[in-house]
Every structure is written in structure tokens, then in C-alpha cells.
Amino acid sequence: MEAAVARGETIYGVNTGFGKLAHVRIPPEQARQLQLNLIRSHASGVGEPLPPDAVRAMMLLRANVLVRGTSGVRPVLPELLVDMLNRKLHPTVPSQGSVGASGDLAPLSHLALAMIGEGDVKVPSPITLEAKEGLAFVNGTQAQTGLAALLVADAWMLWRSAHAAAAMSLEAVRGSPDPFDARIHDARPHPWQQRSAALLRDLLADSEIRESHRDNDPRVQDAYSLRCTPQVLGAVGEGLAFAERLVTTELNAATDNPLVFGNDVLSGGNFHGQPIALALDVIGIALTTLAGLAERRLERVVNPDLSSGLPAFLAHDPGLESGFMIAQIAAAALVADCRVLATPASVQSVPTEGNQEDVVPMGMTAAWKAGRILANAERIVAIELLAGAQGLEYLKPLRPAKAVARLQAAVRQESAALTGDRPLTADIEKVAARIREGRFAS
């Protein structure tokens, strides 16, 4: 980079202005001021701060990009980021203000402020940015990619927990595990559908409840929310796997501009966040599908017209008590919220920078939506787990499958069986927190 500047080459963001101002030539003696001005001006994010894990993810990923050797920066930049991570120095980074087109300019600029000694945390050795180093730091998708990576991990945990809830609900309403027979799913060999059916077979093996009514069950087929769980959750798994593939590639990609390859400095567009914005939208759509399926199974457990003999709303004294009536309403409200939020952000381009950035992906908006959908879906699955555990109480002394019995016991560690009406908010939140920790990941 220094050699290219010495040769007098015109290099975007090194001796020119930015965006629409790229035609303005900057003299060499102002190169440092240009980079400093870039960080100060672009640190204009708004809204609630990103959580610490998201900021740490962004820091780690930005360091990972800089050490690839295509950014044209000194080693001191990634070294300082690693030092900040080890010291747990996390600057405040607003969550809004990025369209994800020239990368996450505002979030990364707030991070860079701390590195130059102007942020809200004090670093041991602030740096002075040399030519291109400010631009190299803020050009990239690491805010949205860090959030996406965390969401993928949590979404897989929820996917497995949703199978646990499905198995418990099926046992509670005395449904049939026959639709999960491997031969059915081998005849339509979508890989994640096959994995979903296998999970359910393992969870439902050796059930006393099933054996008690195998020969005299008048139902020929269960409703779709029970019978088609592998087909629906399998499709959700395919969506999550697609998103994971895009995110995994992006984790190790060079995403700034221009890029340095030997003696060549090339301008391109690897900072454009469309792949990650699309991945985040797919995560949101997939988890909304999962949430809607869980709410429909929940309805079958609490509705006396659908629950195969369980008391209305799982109350001990229906009428005097309401049991899980409002918990199901809460789940319905959360599903509606998810469906509104599932509208894709990655197609909502609004041109910026004097129409230089005329196609933008809105990746941080997609990340915010997917995060809220995830939290909603975790609570819906938590309500289903609670209701399924309660439904099984009424089938004693029959025992469910051993795996389901273990899941019921795990629920009971967080929430006592309902013996009369009580507020369920704390129970729901505790079980939802355990879902994210992997307690119910089958």
C-alpha cells in the first residue's frame, strides 16, 4: 500500500474522498486526517447498544479479516483487537444505522473510535491510523455476520428443542409415532427431514402411553401439526443449513475495499452484505415456521376438543381455573409478531451516499428481526414444553418414552406441576432460557 502511494497511484479512500466524494483528491500530508475524519464522521449509529457477545463477535471477525493480508494494514490493528478481547474491553456500539452496503460502516466506526482513544472504553495503547487503515477497518460485514453466527448457533439449539417439545406433545395427546417410520422419509430423502424423523423416533421409543392404546385407537391419522412434524421441521433445518453455509464462508472472507494483492490494489464490492442479509432473512422465515408449528401443537394439547381427553386448558378444575388458556394466547401473539417480522429486509433497498450506494441489503435490520423472532420462538417452544409436561401428569401411571420422561423431569426442575392457577410468566422465561442453554436439545 505504501509503495502504491509512493508511485502516485490514485487509490480510493487513501488519497481520495469516500463514496460520492471519490473524485476529490487528498494530498499526502492529509492522509492521516482523512482516516481520522472517516471514523469520526461514520460513528453516527443510533438505538440500543448491541449486546456484549455481538460486539465481541464483531471484534473477533474484524481481526480475522485483517490478518488475511489483503487489507493493507499494519499488524498492530488486529493485535489491538485481540488485546481488547482478552481484556474484555467492549465499546458501546449502537445497533441501528447500518444498511450493510459498504459493510457495517457505523457499527465498525464506533468500534474503531475506541481503538484510536476516542470511545467510551480506554484501551491501553490507542493507535494513529495510517493511510487506508480507517477505511480497511470500517469496510466489512462483521457486525451483521457476527450477529448471524450467534443466531445460527442459537437457532440450531432451538431446532433440536422443538423436537423435544413435539415428542412431549405427541405423547400428551396420545398421538402415533408411525408417521416417523424411516421408510416414509427415505422415500422423500430430504436430509433434514430424515434427521428430524430419526430424532423423533429416538425420543418416542418404548412408550407405555403408546402401547396402552395401540390396538384400540380409532384415529387413522393425526393432524398435520403432529404427523407432519418431520416434513416441517426438516424444511426449517434445510433453511438453517443454507444460512449456516453462507455465514461460514463469510466468517473467513476478505470484505473490505480496495483489496491488496501483491503490487495490485483493486477496487471491488466484497463489502456488500447481501449474502448475510439473505441468510438472516432465511433464519427469520425458518424460525417463524417452527414457531407456528409449535403453537399449533400447543393448541391441540390445551383444547379439550382436540386433546384426546385431557382436561380443558390442562386445568385441574376447568371453569374455576383457566390453566394454560392465557399461555396459549401469549403463544398466538408471539406467532403473529414473528409473521410480521418475517417480511424480508434484504429486498428493502434504499439508496444512500448520493446514489453511489444504489443497491443496499439492510443486513442489520435483518439481524434485528431474526433476533426477535428467535426470542419469540424460544418462548413459544417453552410454553409447549410446559403444557406437554402438564398434559403427561394426567396420563399417570402410564409412563411416556424414557427420553420424554427425562425431558419432563428437566421441565419440572424449572417449573412445578400446575395444581391450581398461578402466574406462568416466570416459568416460561426460565424454560426459554434453558432452551438457549441447550437443556432440551434432544
Could you give the residue numbers annotated as active site?
12
What is d(CA 337, CA 71) in angstroms, rounded to the nearest whole number?
A: 41
Judged on CB neighbours under 10 Å (0-12, 13-18, 19+), 409 is exposed
Contact yes or no for 137/41 (Cβ under 8 A)? no
Q: What share of the chain is helix, strand, coil (3-state, %, to 5)?
A: 60, 5, 35
Contact yes or no for 108/61 (Cβ under 8 A)? no
Q: Which three cell numbers stand for residue 56?
A: 465481541
What is d(CA 299, CA 292) in angstroms, rounded to the nearest whole number?
A: 11
At position 95, the amino acid (one-letter code) is: S
Residues 6 or more apart in contact with residue 223 via CB below 8 angstroms:
296, 300, 306
Q: Which three cell numbers stand for residue 170?
A: 405427541
Nearest residue to 118 (alpha-carbon basis) of 134, 102, 135, 132: 134
Site of grid cell 434485528: 368
Nearest residue to 439 (alpha-carbon basis) of 417, 413, 400: 413
Q: Which three cell numbers stand for residue 394?
A: 394426567
Judged on CB neighbours under 10 Å (0-12, 13-18, 19+), 24 is exposed
What is d(CA 171, CA 400) in angstroms, rounded to the nearest whole number?
A: 7
The crossing angle, in degrees rounded to 10, of helices 191-203 and 402-414 is: 80
Nearest residue to 283 (alpha-carbon basis) of 220, 346, 230: 346
Residue 267's SS3 state is coil
